[in-house]
Structure 1
């Protein structure tokens, strides 16, 4: 049995510069993974599929945030995690697992993984000192920090984002990261693991650290986390804790896990943790490495970086209220080019949904199925097209014949914007043919039947291929065309593969035109 495992990096519940609420970037990562999972299900319906998403809930910044909120760390995490869980439900995610790193099963997995690394001789105890970033939950080098005056006081901050760092000197457990640096580099170079390929250099650049890695903190400094096995005076490093979530959802350590993952999806800012620390940990535990790590860029707003001080942080719940969850999914996947930073615009989102979902798809479905044109309410089964319709629809039929193969390639590469571009061009051609043919004036029943057949085939094939992107809209269109559930498989996305029948119930329009 083929097992497709789509693992999304857990969303950090800690306080960042953007606050504790989900923002549009979280929404994008979620639907990006969801589209991949739905594609795997469409492509291999008989296989087992795993799609995990969730929240990281340990670490210094979360502990500090809970104190500021005057509640316990667990209460704080419960509140914030529920916001993400509710968003994912609104976005109609098809995840099989929602993991929280405060789950008991995860704690057991982390401690078991630690013990395996220790058993293999990759953990030792040593005095350690260095600059620690609470924001990024990691130690940084002297080259990464600088002095700055903030609020009239000289402080040491990260050069990259001007957030404070603290000097830590204590006895920690260390992981022999240096022993795996060369092996991880060879894996990145030769295994075709980093996608899109643009980020391969970023992954290799993350290997600059030549020292071993501190993987614990004194519990007197950090009590909010998983204790080191057999040493309750130490807390396991939050990134080692968080990364093991992938193993937890796969079944580790209770039985042979579903491993390695088919794909892990991350934002470009956490490349170092997933393409240096994580493979090194796995090698240390004698476990296979992920087959693919898919990296995407960040989201801007009107081409400006999101910032609370600028007041331009986009709340995806607000966007859903304005554009519907299906509309937001569609826009994010159309606008999102993983190889670069992308920009969210309220006006662009509105225009895209109205142009594509309302006009291009919805209007053609409604216009072609009305009783005035299709009096008997049938999806025709046309063995041979009428001569003029055959001539007029030649380009459209060529596009339809090429759709499945081209979409198959783009879906496998997780280039959803290219899938959408291809399918919308096909729908535009279908609309052009329909408008020029003027079926509402057609008196020849054979010609009308041929035209309706090609029109319905266009909507049917495009709807089948759009299922991973817009599952609800696709289902709405296929229901209206009377296409049974068993006829919505990928192999049916070709002309003439459906035997026709009676149109489904007219439920109006899927999405109303959105006003400014």
Structure 2
């Protein structure tokens, strides 16, 4: 009999002061169900995880995907796992209705999800399928661990079961709904059709883990994000937990992993699926990456990840994840995307139409506040591209690379080691600039020196939209300075031209490094155009480089006469929407 269970809780965390450890930063996407082709919501989950993995790799682990070698001995590549969930009654029924072998169905659709991850430039370290043999070993080991601790028992179970959600719902969580075909019972939370099910199966003693879950949730407000979701999960656990059905009779569900030592039962698909996060770490042999730093999930599957999964882990003697990040959904025309409405956005087509990095930027800028749904509107996407990427970032790069400007720099002093122009001193500039121009320069320089920490704070708070907003606010300041100083004008003194180019180039260089997790392809192009050496794109300490007086050091490399205009970084999108 269970008497007391003590939670294994993670240590407290700091956003950037902790030295890198040998444990890799470990982030996961949900594994995607293979009953249909991927949609824009799946791409959204992929991009969220990829952005955070790349950000942590660059800002905290000394790792860059574009670097051919690790810069430091203690640099560790982040672990990003994605993949497909391939068992369960829903897959079984879809395969039966199509007259297709379940394995062939899974192979085909799982391949589409992997194609999407590759097309989206997701830097994943593993793509797991729950039909993999090593995953079966992990699931069976977890089951036996819980069984040997007397945390699994056989009993009768009845309730409302949603095939599409692969979940049982209590009477309080369903209601009767009228539709054109008659009346049916549906889940209040998801709108899925439910059917009454009564059977004998195995149960997990979830009720015994109410207090350990409360301890985990209360120990760290970041255990579930956003804060509103943390409050919802906490309230649900405080209200009490019932034991969880974790198997189905094999006569009803044959497409799944059999219960160890009982071939008449199949392991519940969610126990199977959730264990994938352990499988990719090498469990049960040596899960060195555990616990997960972040599980990225949709808000509709939060209960499984923030209640059931931590309880299963605690029961097995493993620490729960550090953070379960529940993102909202994408709508179209303010309505929930669904095939029946014909408003599901195809991610492959979107990448082709708008360009990958523009799409990634849009998903994180508009959908990067995870607490509320975002509307997928192609016309808004094109406007964001025109205004922010083309008009602000791309235009600024084209301006400061103009041959007309660089022709005026011939003969200006250069650093013999770096070949970069030597920034004019304050004493040189004061008589050449009025007070307003000097103030613009000082304000931009101060903003640039604060930007990396400000951006990192936004990412630590799981607010990528605010991080992007901070970066583009600084880019707007650089555009304002350029318009004010007019470095292309023959009337602008050359030292002022160099000062303008120094600050604007620094803005582009620093912004380009910070934007790489969001737009990795385009930011490589930007840094190449600025002639930033590859070895200066790897370490966080390369972000801000100052002289003895605390002033930013110039990274302006004079462009040669034969180079001509810089290629547009973000060409106009020629698509009618």
Partner of 2:84: 55
Q: In structure 2, what is the equivalent of residue 17 of structure 1?
A: none
**Residue of structure 1 in register with 2:422 after alignment:** 381
Q: Could you tell me whether the CA contact under 8 Å between 2:200 and 2:249 is conserved in 1?
A: yes
Which segments of 5 or more consecutive residues in structure 2 lack a partner in the other structure? 1-21, 63-74, 411-418, 546-551
Task: State TM-score, norm by structure 2.
Answer: 0.85
Cα distance in 2 for partners of 1:500, 1:431 equals 17
Q: Which residue of 2 aligns with 1:357?
A: 389
Asked if 1:483 is matched to 2:515, the reply is no
State the alpha-carbon separation in 2 of the partners of residues 507 and 84 from structure 1.
36
Question: Is 1:326 aligned to residue 357 of structure 2?
Answer: yes
Residue by residue over 1:451-507, the C-alpha shift from the partner in whole angstroms, topping out at 9 and shown as x without a partner, is 211121111111111111111121111111110111123222225356554559776
Alpha carbon RMSD of aligned pairs, Å?
2.0
Contact 1:434 1:455 in 2 (8 A): yes
**Mapped partners of 1:257, 1:451: distance in 2:** 49
Contact 2:207 2:241 in 1 (8 A): yes
What is the alpha-carbon distance in structure 1 between the residues aligned to residue 111 and residue 566 of structure 2?
33
Provide the residue aligned with 2:46 in structure 1.
30
Q: Does the CA contact (< 8 Å) of 2:485 and 2:496 recur in 1? A: no
Corresponding residue to 2:519 among 461, 470, 478 = 470
Matching residue of 1:432: 480
Does the 8 Å CA contact 1:181/1:276 hold for their aligned counterparts?
no
Could you tell me which residue of structure 1 aligns to residue 124 of structure 2?
95
Determine the C-alpha separation between the residues in 2 that align with 1:205 and 1:73. 39
Residues 257-307 of structure 1 deviation map (CA, whole Å, 9 limit, x = unaligned): 321111111111111101111111111111111111112111111322212
Choose 439-448 or 284-293, whichever is displaced more: 439-448
**Where does structure 1 lack aligned partners over 5 or more consecutive residues?**
15-19
Distance in 1 of aligned mates of 2:463 and 2:228 = 14
Q: CA deviation at 1:52?
A: 0.6
CA–CA distance in structure 1, aligned partners of residues 281 and 529 of structure 2: 39
SS of corresponding position for 2:99: coil
1:112 Cα deviation after fit: 0.7
Deviation at 1:128, TM superposition (A): 2.0
Q: Give me the whole-angstrom Cα distance separating, in 1, the residues matched to 2:541 and 2:461.
A: 19
The question of whether the paired residues in 2 share the 8 Å contact of 1:195 and 1:292 is answered with yes
2:402 paired with 1:344: no
Contact 1:379 1:500 in 2 (8 A): yes
Deviation by residue 1:29-62 (Cα, 9 ceiling, x = unmatched): 1111111000111012112421111111111111
Distance in 1 (CA, whole Å) between partners of 2:179 and 2:507 is: 60
Question: Secondary structure, in 3 states, of the residue corresponding to 1:286?
Answer: coil
Contact kept in structure 1, 2:444 and 2:474, CA below 8 Å: yes
* Structure 1 residue 210: Cα displacement: 3.0
More divergent stretch after superposition (23-32 vs 495-504):
495-504
Please tell me whether the aligned partners of residues 82 and 127 of structure 2 are also in contact (alpha carbons under 8 angstroms): yes
Deviates more, 1:274-283 or 1:193-202: 193-202
Secondary structure of 1:393 counterpart: helix
Q: Matches of 1:32 and 1:474 in 2, distance apart?
A: 18
Name 2:57's counterpart in structure 1: 41
Cα pair distance change 1:453/1:499, threshold 3 Å: closer
2:245 paired residue number: 214
Taking structure 1 as reference, are residues 86 and 206 closer, same or farther at Cα in structure 2, changes over 3 Å only? farther
Partner of 2:544: 494
Range with greater deviation from structure 2 (349-358 or 187-196): 187-196
Quick check: 131-140 or 160-169, which moved more? 160-169
Deviation at 1:117, TM superposition (A): 0.6
CA contact (8 A) 1:247 1:257 kept: no
Residue 568 of structure 2 is aligned to residue 509 of structure 1 = yes
> Which residue is equivalent to 2:316?
285
Q: Distance in 2 between matches of 1:500 and 1:512?
A: 24
Shift of residue 5 of structure 1?
0.7
Number of the residue aligned with 1:164: 193
Q: For the residues of structure 2 that align with 1:309 and 1:404, how far apart are their CA atoms?
A: 45
1:4-153 equivalences in 2 (<5 Å): 4-14=25-35, 20-43=36-59, 44-45=61-62, 46-153=75-182
